[in-house]
Structure 1
Amino acid sequence: MTTDTAGRADEAPLFGPEPQFRPLLDDPRWALAMIRATVLEAAHPQIGAALVDNSTFVAHPWRRLRNTFLSMRRMFDPDPAVREREATRLNRLHARLSGSDARGRAYDALDRPTRAWVVATLFESAVTMCRLSGQPLDQDTMERMYAQYRAFLAALGGDAGELPEDVGDFWRYFDRVVEDELENTEAARVILYHLFDHLPAPALLDSAPTLWAAGRAVAGPLLGAITVASLPSPYRRRAGLPEMPGAPALMQGAYVAAGLARFLPAGWINAESIIDVLSLRPGDDDPRARTVTALRARMKRASALLRLLAPPGGDADPDPAPPAAPGEGRRSAEEFFRQVLDQTGDGHLDWPDLAAMARELSTRLDLDEPEETRLYDAFAAWWRELQAALDTDGDGRVSAEEYAAAVPSLAGPALIRVAEVLFDATDKDGSGTIDTDEYRTLFRTAFHRDLAATGGAYGRSAFVGDFLSFMTGRRTSAPYDPLLADA
């Protein structure tokens, strides 16, 4: 860190006495701006390739949203130790993401210019968000915000010098990257034309697939049109994105309407609470779960009414219904492959899918080294075991058909090792059992087992047995489904 901005990143508070972008986390306009920024990121060849190969944003978008929001909260925390720890965790995560795209071009998530582009899209989208909602930033505010974004890049371990020092020069940098480097990548197309149209329901709405599908059929195309209209026109031309009549007016109206939230009383909109509620399930010990249960009952009735009104033979319920009971039940090999094993949603099982599992578990448990590496190593050993047992055609990945033909062979020594390492990582105090607090950290819910019979703890053998039963696809599991199967 050699620049003045980078030097300020070591001071507390990181972003100055009046941070310009921390309040954006609870601003409804930020949801639209974040979608736009994500498309601009995905249009970069390196980022797009990394997303397609490694990200769970297609199969598990709500989980990805929750983890991203949690990470941003930590990076904006006033405590320097919290920020440093999160930056270190993110760097470890990105150090594991490298490879090559379909054209043989290498990508590396720690590439400094690429990381700078991610921060650049966030700043530019924040400025554009304010402009489109009729509240443009004055020059002084824009300059302060830009300095804080450069400090944010430095705090992440990047080089603030990768972004121009002056905000005026930034716009020339941004236009150059849009003109010369962005492409119509597969990841950008997925976000614009697949994700919105096929977005799975969050836990709150997964019992009402018809209602969710009906709402998604309306909201999906609208979000896509709004996002496309908000993108820089040079990129729209290069990528061949459609110019839909009325889309600019629709985009402007959406941003202005979202901007009206500034007139609501302070604290009425809290993004963290909204995300938490969307993740709740009936039976959770959170006090809001009772309200969620009542809402789900009403949604089921609304969904049933829509089915009655739907024309015969229509595809009004495209999503498979979840198990009738939230506890135990059996699932088909195809369901387990799609819901749990194929974390990236590409139709195959390979190392990025198991790496995504390790990443999610490490995030939930907030692991440091060396526990995080032990968990990744255990999943890597399981992948080698799966590949040897199931990859019959030798293409380096496992198809749904190959998996279904050899389900009984999954519970080998490597999977048992994964369960044991996960148990050790969860058992923070090394007591040999998982107590109620440790259980909540992993499963984000209370300990629902018979406390009188278990002595208020979850033993190693019981944990390993339950984990193996879940990971071999033999049965659904009320705690383990939210861990790895939820969208």
Structure 2
Amino acid sequence: MFGPGSQFHALFNDPRWALAMIRATVLEAAHPQIGAALLDNSTFVAHPWRRLRNTFTSMQRVFGADDDVRQREAARLNRLHARLRGTDPHDRPYDAMDPGVRAWVVATLFESAVTMRRLSGQPLQPTATARLYAECQAFLALMGDEAGHLPHTLDAFWPYYDRTVAEELENTEAMRIILYRLFDHLPAPPLLTDFPALWATGRSVVGPVIGAITVASLPEPFRRRAGLPEIAGVPTLMQGAYLAAGLARFLPDQWIQAEGITELLTLSPGSDDPRARTVAALRDQVKRAGALIRLITPLPPEPEPSAEDGTVGDGARRSAREFFAEVLDQTGDGYLDWPDLAAMARELSGRLDLDEPEETRLYNAYADWWRELQTALDTDGDGRVSAHEYAAAAPSLAGPALIRVAEVLFDATDSNGNGRIDADEHRALFRTAFHRDTTTTDSEGTYTRSEFITTFLTFMSGRHRTTPYDPILAES
């Protein structure tokens, strides 16, 4: 049911799968429990490209050939889901470990894959559909969920799906964000951050089109009940988009390899990957051309940095408000609270592929830091820290709890326990080799414990941009 011969594995490099994944995510977010969990805990608003890469990496692990990797990933996902529980704005509880909710997530992936093939004029054959459904059931079994939450047979699935769409799905805020606001404010991937005008222009055209196509592909009963607009001509546009994406499969394999495309979109400009250097060289050429244009037609000067925001006039530093928005507010809701720091712990744990108890130690260290921040910064007592509260205090964050976070992160990164971070351990965390500006004090050219902690604290309290932590915690 898993590995290179599976139906799901074949979807990875199918260009149509991108459209199907957006559709499935909308249907997931329309479920009240999933929508609330996404809104409270997910980084899909503030860091969509990171979320894209992490989701794809997780699917690769589950549907890859290595069973040990698959079992480890299932255990990691269960630990992640166990931490996601709370209540929605209507005081209804949500729990990411609810087996019925997890069955719905898998159901949306299955149904969207079937719909993707139908809309592109290549419907799945009955045997392939049955095999895909069996793989969905196998995935839930891998996660440890009891059978029956997803119907046992394919014939029973469609009444279950129709009933859930008609009775349980809602026009949730998370669903509206994905459909309408996510693309409106989607930040540029790391390699395009130097071209905000170009990115904004393309996004303003593509975003509404993708949103309209997604709406047109949703089940009609849900569209009516949720009050989603029906625009003349969009069903034809949707059909054309799926057909065009299907034709892309005839392109050379290296052009449509999902892993390569995902890595390129999420590649940090400072990476030592040869592709990053190539794109950086191209970006420099475009910058020079842009500078020449500005000389010919000068633009109005940009305003000077404001002292109120904590800007010190050094391009290597962030203002307090920038630091809050880019680093601390991981969920993008305008506030700092526990889900933001939990998202940091989740990202670092995922990069290092931590098992218990190392993962729990890192989460506990972040929880202690959150309590320290809450005590120092939550002046109005509402249980969270606003951007104004943070910028007004502009504190030095290097308290005992943050130092403990740095120590625990060092221990987790130092996988062989020799008290130093070598090149392989550095790459596991930062996904890049040592940079020339990395200071080392030992003869072996490794990262010492004190240097690692100092760099982390400098990033978190000094708000410096030029550290390896930017691609992990600040970039989208």
How high is the TM-score relative to the length of structure 1? Answer: 0.91
- Determine which of 131, 136, 146 is the counterpart of 1:144: 131
- CA–CA separation in structure 2 for the residues paired with 1:116 and 1:307: 55
How far did residue 409 of structure 1 move?
A: 3.9
- CA–CA separation in structure 2 for the residues paired with 1:302 and 1:135: 45
- Greater Cα shift, 207-216 or 263-272: 263-272
- Determine which of 156, 180, 184 is the counterpart of 2:143: 156
- Determine which of 460, 464, 471 is the counterpart of 1:471: 460
- CA–CA separation in structure 1 for the residues paired with 2:160 and 2:292: 53
1:203-242, aligned counterparts within 5 Å? 203-242=190-229
Gaps of 5+ in 1: 1-13, 314-326
Q: CA RMSD in A?
A: 2.2
Partner of 1:352: 339
**Does residue 483 of the first structure (1) align with residue 472 of the second (2)?**
yes
- Determine which of 85, 100, 118 is the counterpart of 1:113: 100
Q: Is 1:151–1:160's contact at 8 Å kept on the other side of the alignment?
A: no
Partner of 1:254: 241
Kindly tell me: are residues 294 and 143 of structure 1, through their superposed partners in 2, closer, same or farther at Cα, counting changes over 3 Å? same
- CA–CA separation in structure 2 for the residues paired with 1:23 and 1:302: 42
- Tell me the amino acid that sits aligned with residue 27 of structure 1: D
How far did residue 222 of structure 1 move?
A: 0.7
**Does residue 193 of the first structure (1) align with residue 193 of the second (2)?**
no
Deviation per CA, 1:57-83, whole angstroms, max 9, x where unpaired? 000000011011000000001222111
Partner of 2:91: 104
Structure 1 SS opposite 2:145:
coil
Structure 2 SS opposite 1:405:
helix
How far did residue 281 of structure 1 move?
A: 3.2
Deviation per CA, 1:26-47, whole angstroms, max 9, x where unpaired? 1110000000000000000000
- Determine which of 393, 398, 403 is the counterpart of 2:390: 403
Partner of 2:410: 423
Partner of 1:125: 112
Partner of 2:26: 39
Kindly tell me: are residues 40 and 267 of structure 1, through their superposed partners in 2, closer, same or farther at Cα, counting changes over 3 Å? same
How far did residue 453 of structure 1 move?
A: 4.8
- CA–CA separation in structure 2 for the residues paired with 1:17 and 1:249: 34
Deviation per CA, 1:138-182, whole angstroms, max 9, x where unpaired? 222211211111111211222332111221211111000000000
Structure 2 SS opposite 1:395:
coil
- Determine which of 139, 145, 153 is the counterpart of 1:166: 153
Partner of 1:286: 273
Partner of 2:306: none
- Tell me the amino acid that sits aligned with residue 186 of structure 2: L
Partner of 1:440: 427
- Determine which of 35, 53, 78 is the counterpart of 2:65: 78
- CA–CA separation in structure 2 for the residues paired with 1:150 and 1:37: 17
In the alignment of these two chains, the number of paired residues is 461
Q: Is 2:269–2:276's contact at 8 Å kept on the other side of the alignment?
A: yes
How far did residue 137 of structure 1 move?
A: 1.2
Deviation per CA, 1:79-122, whole angstroms, max 9, x where unpaired? 22111110000000000000000000000000000000000000
**Does residue 51 of the first structure (1) align with residue 38 of the second (2)?**
yes
Partner of 2:449: 460
Q: Is 1:328–1:475's contact at 8 Å kept on the other side of the alignment?
A: no
Kindly tell me: are residues 119 and 340 of structure 1, through their superposed partners in 2, closer, same or farther at Cα, counting changes over 3 Å? same
- CA–CA separation in structure 2 for the residues paired with 1:290 and 1:394: 48
Structure 1 SS opposite 2:107:
helix
- Tell me the amino acid that sits aligned with residue 109 of structure 2: L
Structure 2 SS opposite 1:408:
coil
Q: Is 2:78–2:97's contact at 8 Å kept on the other side of the alignment?
A: yes
Kindly tell me: are residues 70 and 302 of structure 1, through their superposed partners in 2, closer, same or farther at Cα, counting changes over 3 Å? farther
Kindly tell me: are residues 306 and 344 of structure 1, through their superposed partners in 2, closer, same or farther at Cα, counting changes over 3 Å? farther
How high is the TM-score relative to the length of structure 2? Answer: 0.93
Structure 2 SS opposite 1:211:
helix
Q: Is 2:8–2:63's contact at 8 Å kept on the other side of the alignment?
A: no
Kindly tell me: are residues 267 and 330 of structure 1, through their superposed partners in 2, closer, same or farther at Cα, counting changes over 3 Å? closer
Q: Is 2:86–2:94's contact at 8 Å kept on the other side of the alignment?
A: yes
- CA–CA separation in structure 2 for the residues paired with 1:38 and 1:309: 46
How far did residue 15 of structure 1 move?
A: 3.6
- Tell me the amino acid that sits aligned with residue 97 of structure 1: L
Structure 1 SS opposite 2:432:
coil
- CA–CA separation in structure 2 for the residues paired with 1:171 and 1:307: 59
Partner of 1:29: 16
Deviation per CA, 1:380-424, whole angstroms, max 9, x where unpaired? 000000000000000000001111122234221000100111011
1:233-382, aligned counterparts within 5 Å? 233-300=220-287, 329-382=316-369
Kindly tell me: are residues 393 and 450 of structure 1, through their superposed partners in 2, closer, same or farther at Cα, counting changes over 3 Å? closer
- CA–CA separation in structure 1 for the residues paired with 2:116 and 2:295: 41
Kindly tell me: are residues 234 and 459 of structure 1, through their superposed partners in 2, closer, same or farther at Cα, counting changes over 3 Å? same
- Greater Cα shift, 256-265 or 468-477: 468-477
Q: Is 1:116–1:160's contact at 8 Å kept on the other side of the alignment?
A: no
- CA–CA separation in structure 2 for the residues paired with 1:51 and 1:195: 13
- Tell me the amino acid that sits aligned with residue 385 of structure 1: E
How far did residue 204 of structure 1 move?
A: 0.8
Q: Is 1:30–1:126's contact at 8 Å kept on the other side of the alignment?
A: yes
- Tell me the amino acid that sits aligned with residue 422 of structure 2: D
> Percent of pairs identical after alignment?
70
Structure 2 SS opposite 1:162:
coil
How far did residue 285 of structure 1 move?
A: 1.6
Q: Is 2:4–2:10's contact at 8 Å kept on the other side of the alignment?
A: no
- CA–CA separation in structure 1 for the residues paired with 2:103 and 2:293: 47
Deviation per CA, 1:225-284, whole angstroms, max 9, x where unpaired? 111111111111111111112111111110000000222244441111111112223442
Q: Is 1:20–1:145's contact at 8 Å kept on the other side of the alignment?
A: yes
- CA–CA separation in structure 2 for the residues paired with 1:237 and 1:406: 48
- Tell me the amino acid that sits aligned with residue 379 of structure 1: Y
Deviation per CA, 1:285-319, whole angstroms, max 9, x where unpaired? 21212211123235546777998999x99xxxxxx
